[in-house]
Structure 1
Amino acid sequence: MQATTRHLVRYLARRFAWHMLGAAIGLALVLLVYSLLFSAVTGLPAVVVAVVAVAAAVGLGLVPGARELEVTAARALLDVDAELVVPARPRPAHRVRTAGWVVLHLATGMLVAVCLFAVLPGAVLIGVETVAGRPFGSGVPLPDSAPEAALRLVACAVVGLLALAATWPLGAAASALAGRVLGPTPHDRMETALARAGREAEHTRLARELHDGIGHALTVVSVQAAAGRRVVAANPDAAADALAAIEDTARSALAELDQLLAVLRDDADDAAPLALAPALNDVVSEHRRAGLDVNARIDLPAGLPALLSRTVQRIVTEGLTNAHRHGGPGPVRLTVEQDGEEVRIEVVNPARAGARPGRAGRAGRASGGRGLSGVRERVALFGGTVEAGPDGDRWVLRATLPWTTMPGTTPAGLTDPADPADPADRKDPDA
């Protein structure tokens, strides 16, 4: 009970403070308008003063900073739960709403001040004169009979109570209207939705980049570590090769992570040209060193756009990583080529024995993991197509990216990154 009473008292006190703030500004504005008008022209009707005062209140609402003050006052004194907006670049709709709110604030504040400091004292004075039977300066004639006196006392009590309680409904109405008047406009809601969508897209992009880059590196590291552990005693040279591959992969992953963080800090340009041939060579060679038998055929024109080049690299990385992680033993065929105005990517690998399509986990990928979702998102940016699923005893990933040859570019075939003269690329650490 005491807590409820304290809450009610604080509620009324804050509403009263908000009304008195409006009354003080409104009274000062009316007095200023009155003095200026009557110093220039005498005998003006009151309606002219009222119209000019309202116009001055509208102008006050258009002053820079007025919305900030009104929003702060509404949040602190009206307990507004709705979202209130202070735009960085106010639009005409914001200015109109702010001006209307300022007029409402001053008008309700002056109305409450009149009720509390004019109507209520007047009702009390008339009641006292009626009870005492003599005038005290109200100017209202005394009642001629007892019934008339009783009726006047009742009227004084009703008017006094209404004047005393005026702050309650006016404050509640102002609190309910604050969200509509000082809240976001439809344009603000659209900007907020677009900003939220942009943040979510950036989060998705970051997750995709981390999965495609760091996730791929961790897969290779785990495979090499397992292979090195199995052969460390029987074949120290193979174990040393596995540790060297882990070192190279970890160094590349750290460099890629640093580049990704630099892009997020706007310290690097994500549209910087990418040397696609060396990048694909590195990806294929890395998987070969990890024990994957890759037969690669890459034939692309030079001068691919940076975004398209990065997308091709990510798709190839994802396809080979999935083949390494989920595929069965046997050669993996990688094909990257241009077909007319399209870039085609195909990764074909043996399916793991006992894998059941549609089953989640390491044995089945038909349901699609986060990596395949990232591939679909990347390809969708170009309006391309992705097919991923079992084909007999094989798993096939096919991606098609539309691309029109840029002026000045000439086809430059990229050779198979395998180097038959380098036995290290063909060595299987698990052997």
Structure 2
Amino acid sequence: MTSFAGLLFGRRARLRWIHLILGGALAMPYVLVGSVVVGPVAGDSHVFGSLRLQLASFAVGLPLAAVTSLFPLTRPLESGVVRSLCGVEPDRLAHGPARTKGEKGRTAAWFTLHLGLGGVVAGMSLAVPPFAAALIALPFVPALRDDRMGLPGVLRHTWSLALAPVAGAAMLVALAGCAAVCGTLLARWAPALLGPSAEDRVAAAEARAAALAVRNRLARELHDSVGHALSAVTLQASAARRVLDSDPEFVREALAAIEDTTRRTVGELDAVLGVLRDGDAPGTAPAPTLADDLDGLLHRTRAGGLRVAATVTADPGALPPPVSREAYRIVQEGLSNALRHAGADVTVALRVDVRDDDLRISVENPLGQAGTTRPGGGHGLRGITDRARLLGGAAEAGAEGETWRLRVRLPLKAPT
């Protein structure tokens, strides 16, 4: 019983009832215009004294409403009202004006339905409550039974007087039910008539995909640059602490490498945060590349004590800029994995060469004692795979016996 009362008189039902009454108010100017046409045709100047002529004026006015719905602001205004009063999710409704013929036709159909159903419910909301109230009060107010009130004779019988309050209450419930049904129908039809077109949905999906791609790219940049820097600095500080008394020269070199690593990482972090703040980062530090920054990366990695046997047969300066940038990040992440999982007391074999118009990168290191995946880890390998796929290449990584191998192939030519 409570749920039934909520459906008829709950907050959502009341808001939808208000939406229908607004539709009836919007319909009034069109009804007035329709009465100007219907009155002379029917030969009766008192159009609003006849229910038949009122309905005829209403029928003439609705096509005029459909025509005026072509005004550009109609769809945005109606969508806003539906979102506020009908409980329809914002993403299921269009925000801009109707552009195509199909959108304009659906907007005209919606506006006509809104005004049509709203006019009926608004008219009932004006006429039914006073009459229902009179029926409820009829047994208790003798003045209402006076002949001058014009009540039908049947309402003066005793049994009619006893049933009048029940009939009045039933009329109010029926009015609420009619408003609830009409409001529910409009809320159900709104996404189909006011919702975005297929082109709008495709454009929204493309925008979301573009935003997701930017977010994933920034996440990869932060993970690779900051993650590598933290791993390298941790290893360098640990190595320096172990030989603090016995090898001051190595400690000075490790501290210099820590300073250089943090300075470069702060610059890269500023660049990424600039993209987050402004959507672009003019004037920030350029992204590192294999051509310009591989030697520094190897020097900083070795300064921490990690032995890196690098074989670079490719000419980094001849690589296309996108390939050079992504290759640097891939090498950086490969060395970071070795730092995290193998430790400093191993030798990492790095090989960068060109075969069959592809840049080939391989990183090999013993699994060591830290060859397990840390909690929350694994993002680096996914980032490497994503970078390779963006350029049309491929990446594979895994343990082979006691050795961990990472192999990446990056095409030097754009895929056709």
With the length of structure 1 as denominator, give the TM-score of the two structures: 0.74
Higher share of residues assigned helix: 2
CA distance in 2, matches of 1:405, 1:70: 48
CA distance in 2, matches of 1:254, 1:68: 46
- Among 109, 115, 121, the alignment partner of 1:112 is 121
Q: How many residues align structurally?
A: 391
Tell me the equivalent position of 1:397: 406
CA distance in 1, matches of 2:83, 2:320: 51
- Quick one: which amino acid aligns to residue 113 of structure 1? A
Tell me the equivalent position of 1:288: 302
CA distance in 2, matches of 1:273, 1:230: 34
Residue 344 (structure 1) shift: 0.6
Tell me the equivalent position of 1:199: 211
CA distance in 2, matches of 1:323, 1:165: 75
Does residue 351 of structure 2 align to residue 350 of structure 1? Answer: no
Matches within 5 A, 1:91-130: 91-92=99-100, 93-118=102-127
- Quick one: which amino acid aligns to residue 64 of structure 2? A
Does residue 393 of structure 2 align to residue 384 of structure 1? Answer: yes
- Among 314, 319, 343, the alignment partner of 1:300 is 314
Matches within 5 A, 1:238-387: 238-264=250-276, 265-268=279-282, 276-301=290-315, 302-327=317-342, 329-352=345-368, 354=369, 359-361=372-374, 369-387=378-396
Residue 273 (structure 1) shift: 8.8
CA distance in 1, matches of 2:329, 2:287: 15
- Quick one: which amino acid aligns to residue 324 of structure 2? S
The answer to whether the 8 A contact 1:295-1:331 is kept is yes
Q: Structure 1 residues 339 and 268 mapped into 2: Cα distance closer, same or farther (>3 Å)?
A: farther
Secondary structure of 1:398 counterpart: strand
Percent of residue pairs bearing the same amino acid type? 34
Q: Report Cα offsets for 1:345-371 as digits up to 9, x if no partner.
A: 11223332x566xx4349xxxx98221
Secondary structure of 1:360 counterpart: coil
Residue 77 (structure 1) shift: 3.7
CA distance in 2, matches of 1:405, 1:122: 79
Tell me the equivalent position of 1:412: none
The answer to whether the 8 A contact 2:351-2:361 is kept is yes
The answer to whether the 8 A contact 2:294-2:328 is kept is yes
Tell me the equivalent position of 2:232: 220
- Among 32, 55, 74, the alignment partner of 1:66 is 74
Matches within 5 A, 1:160-199: 161-162=170-171, 165-182=174-191, 184-185=195-196, 187=198, 188-199=200-211
Does residue 248 of structure 2 align to residue 232 of structure 1? Answer: no
Residue 255 (structure 1) shift: 1.0
CA distance in 2, matches of 1:393, 1:126: 93
Secondary structure of 1:345 counterpart: strand
Secondary structure of 1:267 counterpart: coil
CA distance in 1, matches of 2:156, 2:230: 99
Secondary structure of 1:386 counterpart: strand
The answer to whether the 8 A contact 1:292-1:324 is kept is yes
Secondary structure of 1:295 counterpart: strand
- In structure 1, list runs of 5 or more residues that go unmatched: 407-431
Tell me the equivalent position of 1:424: none
Q: Report Cα offsets for 1:100-151 as digits up to 9, x if no partner.
A: 232222222221233243466568889979984735457x7x56x988x967
Does residue 70 of structure 2 align to residue 54 of structure 1? Answer: no
CA distance in 1, matches of 2:97, 2:73: 12
Task: Indicate the RMSD between aligned Cα atoms, in angstroms.
Answer: 4.2
- In structure 2, list runs of 5 or more residues that go unmatched: 44-51
With the length of structure 2 as denominator, give the TM-score of the two structures: 0.77
Residue 253 (structure 1) shift: 0.4
The answer to whether the 8 A contact 1:347-1:398 is kept is yes
